[in-house]
Amino acid sequence: MTGANAGADAGQDPGESTTADSYRGTPTPSKLTEIARYFLFIGIVGFGGPLVHIAMMEDDLVGDDSREWTSHSEFMEGLAICNMLPGPASTQLGIFMGWAYAGKLGAVVAGFFFMVPTFVLVVIFSYVYFAYQALPAVEAVFYGINPVVIGLIVGACYSMAHSAFAEGRADYELAVGTRTWTIDYLLVAILVVATAVVAAFNPNPVVAFVLAGFVAVAVYRSGWVRENVSRVSIGVVVATAVGALVVFREHLIAAVTPSIRRAIEASPLWGYLLTLWANEWVKLFAFMVYTGSFIYGGGLVLIPFIELYVVREFGWLTGQEFVDGIAIGQLSPGPVVMTTAFVGYGFILEASGGLVWLAVLGAFVAAVGAFGPSFVFIMGFFPYFAQVRENDVVQTALVGVNAAVVGAILGATVTLALEAFVIEGVVDPIPIALAIGSCLLFVRGLHAAWIILGGALVGVPLYFLDVLSILPR
């Protein structure tokens, strides 16, 4: 299905039931044990990203008669809805498969054992990183890794843009290497504007996504807009008001009259809210729930969210530490969203004065907050999303959102790239070359983990040879 016209659904027939009972199975001890073993296995060996995870689940759980957890049509319906939802699609598909086979307990078991191996690896890497990051040897390793991660992000955006543009109109076609690009001028404009706005002003990414959705509907579904002008007007007014509150919240707070501010600040509720927000654990969990609820388009969408809040507003990590955390997430077999565990570890480690066991707990709290919405979406609202997915207007809005997602990631990456490429005020050509090379290798199909390891091997000798006087010491 594209933004300009509705295609055929790959999922459920219109006449089929979309109640929760039509999807979920019933839990038994043998089923739960089978789910735990399978997803622990896939969580350990599932290197290669979401596409590998999805292919393994389809081959093992749908096509194998000896372990058929669900029908092929139901699997495709689940995959389509998971791709529409915020959050990591392959993790959500795993939760869905557990839910379809053994109900809510099956969903919890599937998600837990799918994420455990990645969580353990990220925590181990986080401990090593924060314990030894000041050592020259560790600095040398990440001197090569940082620009490689930038290149990987750009390479991923290249593939994401190809998929996003294919959902729009065919205004122009062009061949780049072995790929044919279907270019939609509107989607190109949305991507470019989102990139520029996020790079220059770093707004809340959700605002950019909503605006992109409205623009896509206004252009692609202009006839529907004219027929439903009253409903659309109400939606635009509400969205504009909410967006203005988010964007200009500091100015609005400052504009409140002193008497109103005193009344608000004297309220017991205000005091409770301030006390809650001052608690590091509450702030960490609440932010991760917020992030997990809006990272539409895949794990890399967490980059603009975390770069805006964790790095700029909250100051939990430096820009370099955040890029290093993405590298650690890429080295694991699971979803990149597990980078949130790295964030939680680093934040609580600093807040607790270096207590490692509390930092590990912080990583766990961050992971639960970030992945929690995925469990809620699947177990609580899956039938509703199954109905919404069939709405042509929603599908059209998502076409615009997809393009804005790529732009938001690229815009946030611009800031991170400046920190990796400019060292002590001087542009270092070596990180730039590493970023370009890693991007080309990734686009050609080389796995991210191998590229990161290669960047580390290249960066160490360059760092210690000190071929340029600007290298950090």
**Residue ranges of domains in the chain:** 22-117, 120-220+279-463
Q: What is the pLDDT of residue 219?
A: 93
In terms of DSSP bridges, do strands 179-183 and 422-423 run parallel, antiparallel, or are they unpaired?
unpaired
Q: Which two tokens stand for residue 254?
A: 């400052």
**Sign of torsion, CA 155 159 164 168?**
positive
Q: Which two tokens stand for residue 76?
A: 């495709």
C-alpha to C-alpha distances, 184 to 53, 165, 190, 266, nearest whole angstrom: 30, 6, 10, 54
Q: What is the pLDDT of residue 265?
A: 64
End-to-end CA distance of the chain: 53
Q: Which two tokens stand for residue 267?
A: 């309220």
Q: What is the pLDDT of residue 140?
A: 87
| Residue spans of alpha helices (H) in 307-391 | 319-330, 339-351, 356-388
Q: What is the pLDDT of residue 105?
A: 94
Q: What is the pLDDT of residue 73?
A: 79
> How many other CB atoms sit within 10 Å of the CB of residue 222?
10
Burial, 107: exposed, middle or buried (Cβ in 10 Å; 0-12, 13-18, 19+)? buried
Query: What residues in the chain have per-residue pLDDT under 50?
Result: 1-18, 64, 467-473
Who contacts 133 (Cβ-Cβ below 8 Å, separation ≥6)? 139, 142, 321, 324
Determine the Cα–Cα distance for residues 64 and 313; give it in Å rounded to an integer: 50
Determine the Cα–Cα distance for residues 62 and 42; give it in Å rounded to an integer: 15
pTM above 0.75, yes or no: yes
Determine the Cα–Cα distance for residues 100 and 110; give it in Å rounded to an integer: 11
Is residue 348 classed as helix, strand or coil in its secondary structure? helix
In terms of DSSP bridges, do strands 422-423 and 426-427 run parallel, antiparallel, or are they unpaired?
antiparallel
Task: Categorise residue 103: left if φ over 0, alpha if ψ from -120 to 50, beta otherwise.
Answer: left
Q: Which two tokens stand for residue 4?
A: 């300009």
